[in-house]
Amino acid sequence: MSRDYGDGCAAAHGLALVGERWALLVVRELLLGPKRFTDLRAGLPHISPNVLTQRLEELERSAIVRRRKLAPPAAAWVYELTEWGMQLEPVILALGRWASQSPFLPEGTLNADSLILSFRTMFDPHAAGDFHANIELRIGEDRFRAHVSRGRMELARGSAERHDAIIEGQADAFVQVIYGGRKFADALRSGDLMIAGNKSAAKRFLTLFPLPQRAPAA
């Protein structure tokens, strides 16, 4: 670990482990599965290769991340979270939900993984109600599967074996419709989003992630 607060509090130790700039974002990028160094660079385009290398080494030393070689024919080195590192997911989701209430929340682009994690963060069981569906999301080259039933959602990387609808588009189009107030019909007319299968199920799915009310500005 790279910083020591001289404080016996476990929260201080947690900050020593993941409090460096970019560290939690590296963890965020690995929550949906292993990635190569180049994949991490693509997901974090503003981090320099040297800083990314340093953060990965620190997270490895802290037993949060491990590096392993994939079996042939891929035979590539990837980084993945340890079982303990995966326990940071609720921390990151809670931090994202808290920060989404900021009166100064900046606008910006989301990559596919960030968008999917935002769905996990903002999913509203009350909005889901009795909705039941299997939805495949195609965001650029990435594929994700969502199963919604009884006010719960399972959302993971990979194509759905069975689906009620497929929603396809770039991450920005999803963001505009779900969080930016853009009309679903407008996104379809422009071709920014494309639907295969049950259009009503697809439309309903995109309403399950309401943003919380912003905190008042000081």
The model's pLDDT over 2-59, given as tens digits with 9 standing for 90+, comes to: 567 778 899 999 999 999 999 999 999 999 999 999 999 999 999 999 999 999 999 9
Q: Are residues 26 and 73 in the same domain?
A: yes
Consecutive H or E run containing 184: helix 184-190
Range of the domain at 46: 10-97
Asked if residue 106 is part of any domain, the answer here is no
> Over pLDDT 70: what percentage of the chain?
99
- pLDDT value of residue 2: 54
Two structure tokens written together for 115? 């968008």
Query: What is the pLDDT averaged over residues 159-182?
Result: 95
Asked if residue 3 is part of any domain, the answer here is no
- pLDDT value of residue 106: 86
Residue 1 has pLDDT above 70, yes or no: no
Residue 191 has pLDDT above 90, yes or no: yes
Under a CB-based contact definition with an 8 Å cutoff, are residues 109 and 125 in contact? no
Under a CB-based contact definition with an 8 Å cutoff, are residues 136 and 153 in contact? no
The model's pLDDT over 118-137, given as tens digits with 9 standing for 90+, comes to: 999 999 999 999 999 999 99
Q: Are residues 191 and 154 in the same domain?
A: yes
Asked if residue 1 is part of any domain, the answer here is no
- pLDDT value of residue 4: 74
